Amino acid sequence: MRNIVILISGTGSNMAAIVKAAQRDAWREKLDARIAAVISNRADAKGLAFAAGLGIATVVLDHKLFDSREAFDTALAAQIDHYEEPGSPVLVVLAGFMRILTPGFVSRYAGRLLNIHPSLLPAFPGLHTHQRALDEGCKVAGLTVHQVTAELDHGAILAQAVVPVLPGDTADALAARVLTQEHLIYPRAISDLLQHS
Ligand code: GRF
């Protein structure tokens, strides 16, 4: 059984979409994988209640209680590795996890650490992607699922989806349109990766 650990910091709507996909028969028949735990660096992350309600293990690891980024990441890795099965490394899925990870953490999970970013990378890495796309007059926007490397919002692209930018769009309207696609594409990209690894 391949264990998946999802890291969140807030709403967790992508996490919820992945959990729901993983519960469907088609996923269960195709993939020997399950969502083993949801870890948040914030105790008030809304997604925690959703996961707990489905009987998924939840962990809160408050980054403010650690002296350094390295100390937090070491503790985070220890929590993740708790779900390691012999011969079957954990897949680590970042879903709105608002922490920059240390190079040591990233290399430990190289090839099995994924992120979703709300832009068509390599355009608009970092924050405020939707407003920046509007400011640039982009006619399309979208999302990217990618492998995580030490460089923020870089790494091999696994999946992308495009949405139109509509006249009069606000950043919030565009974000909502992109998020709808995120919920479809992220579970699919994870399933594809698991099938081919
Ligand atoms: C999503 O837009 C995701 O692309 C970005 O953060 C947001 C998280 O939303 N990395 P949610 O917590 O999954 O609802």
- Out of 145, 182, 183, 184, mutate this one to test ligand 1's pocket (max ligand atoms within 8 Å of CB): namely 182
pLDDT of the residue at 29: 86
- Are 47 and 10 a contacting pair, CB within 8 Å? yes
Residue whose CA is at the smallest distance from ligand 1 atom 10? 96
Q: Which amino acid is at 128?
A: H
End-to-end CA separation in angstroms for the chain = 13
Q: Tell me if 35 sits within 8 A of 18, measured CB to CB.
A: yes
Does residue 102 line the site of ligand 1, with CB under 6 A?
Answer: no
Cβ atoms within 10 Å, residue 23: 12
Specify the residue with its C-alpha closest to ligand 1, atom 9.
Answer: 96
- The response to whether residue 9 sits with its C-beta less than 6 Å from ligand 1 reads no
Ligand 1 pocket, residue 142 CB under 6 Å: no
Does domain 2-195 fall under CATH 3.40.50.170? My reply is yes
Largest CA distance in the chain: 53
Is 82 annotated as catalytic? no
Burial environment of residue 75 by CB neighbours within 10 A (0 to 12, 13 to 18, 19 or more): middle
DSSP reduced 3-state for 134: helix
- How many angstroms separate the alpha carbon of residue 71 from the centre of ligand 1? 25
Do the Cβ atoms of 151 and 188 come closer than 8 Å? Answer: no
Beta pairing, strands 33-40 & 2-8: parallel
Q: Which of 15, 48, 179 to mutate to test the pocket of ligand 1 (most atoms within 8 A of CB)?
A: 179
CA–centroid distance, 113 to ligand 1, in Å, is 16
Q: How far is CA 53 from CA 46, 50, 163, 177, in A?
A: 12, 5, 32, 27
pLDDT value of position 115: 98
In one letter, which amino acid is 33? Answer: A
> CA-CA distance, 71 to 65, in Å (whole number)?
10
179 phi/psi in degrees, rounded to 5: -60, -40
User: Residue 26: its pLDDT value, please?
Assistant: 87
Q: Provide the residue-wise pLDDT of the chain in tens; the chain has 197 residues.
A: 899 999 999 999 999 999 999 999 888 888 999 999 999 999 999 999 999 999 999 999 999 999 999 999 999 999 999 999 988 999 999 999 999 999 999 999 999 999 999 999 999 999 999 999 999 999 999 999 999 999 999 999 999 999 999 999 999 999 999 999 999 999 999 999 999 88
Q: Among the options 63, 82, 117, 183, which is catalytic? A: 117
Specify the pLDDT at position 25: 86
Domain ranges of the chain: 2-195
pLDDT at position 92: 98
Closest CA to 113 of 96, 93, 85: 93
